[in-house]
Amino acid sequence: MTFKNKVVWITGASSGIGKGLALELSKLNCKLILSARNTQTLIEVKNACGNSENIKILPFDLAHYANMKLVVEDALKLFGRVDILINNGGISQRSPIIETSIDVDKKLMEIDYLGTIALSKALLPHFVANQTGHYVVVSSIMGKFSSPLRSAYCGAKHALHGFFDALRLEHDKDQLKVTMICPGFVNTDVARNALIADGSKQGYQDEMTENGLDVDVFVKRMLKAIRKEKYEAYIGKFEAFGVYIKRFFPKLLHKLVLRSKVN
C-alpha cells in the first residue's frame, strides 16, 4: 500500500503522535484532513507541514459522538473522499480503581471508545460504497494487557480491539482493512493530560513516558506497519514483549508488571 494520492484523515492531530503523523505524511504526496478540538492548534500544525495546500482542518470533539454523521459529511466535502482514517484521538488515565470516580470511566469510554467507533461507523457506508478503505486505530500495548493505575484506559483500549476485529471480519468482503497500532511508551504529553481520580488532569510527565520512543521514530514505524496493512503492530522499546509474555506466561507477566516502574 502507498500513501501517494490518498486522502488521509487524522484525529488527535493537534499534538503528539497525531502531529507527528501530519508532519511526516505531508511529505508523501497525499491529502490530509486534520482533526482535534482546538482550531488554532490545528492551523499551527497545518502551517508547520509541507504541502499545506493539500491539508484541510476539521475541528470536532470525539466526546460528542452523536454528531459523527454530520462530521463525516463535512469531511467528505473537503476532498470528495476519504481513503484512510487514522483514529488517533483520545485521553489516558492515572489513578487507583478504588479512588476513581465512575465519571472518569465514563469519560474514557465516551472519548476513547464510543467517539472512535461512532466516527468509524459513520464513515463505513462511504468505504463500503467504494469497496475500499483502511481504518487505522491507535490503541495501546495496554489494549493487550493491563497495568496498575490505568483501569479505565485499559478497558477502553481493550474494547477497541473487540470492535475492530469484528469489523475486519464483517467487511473483509468489501476489501476494507483494519490496522491496530499498539504503542508502548512514546514521549508525548499523554501522561500530563491523563485524568486522575477526580477527573482533573495529572499535570506532570512520568518517567516511563519521558524515556519512551521519540515521536518521529514511532511515526516512521507506524507508517511502515500501515503500508504493510498489518492487522496489529506493537511499537515500543522493551514493553512490546509483554504481549507475547501475556499470551504464553500470564503469571510471569503479572509479576514483571508489579516489579516494574510502570505504576
Dist CA 129 CA 149 (whole Å): 42
What length does the chain have? 263
Identity at 195, one-letter amino acid code: L
Identity at 245, one-letter amino acid code: I
In the chain, what are the helix, strand and coil shares in percent, each to the nearest 5? 50, 15, 35
Return the exposure string of 56-67: e unless at least 16 CB atoms fall within 10 Å of the residue's CB, then b. Answer: bbbbbebeebee
In terms of Cβ atoms closer than 10 Å to its own Cβ (0-12, 13-18, 19+), residue 200 is: exposed
Contact 188, 163 (CB under 8 A): no
Is 204 a known active-site residue? no
In terms of Cβ atoms closer than 10 Å to its own Cβ (0-12, 13-18, 19+), residue 157 is: buried
Lookup: cell for 42: 490545528
Dist CA 261 CA 97 (whole Å): 18
Side-chain half-sphere exposure of 14, counting CA atoms within 13 A? 18
| DSSP-derived 3-state class of residue 134 | strand
Of 65, 113, 135, 153, which residue is the catalytic one?
153
Element counts in the chain: helices (H) and strands (E): 10, 7
**Which residues are known to be catalytic?**
153
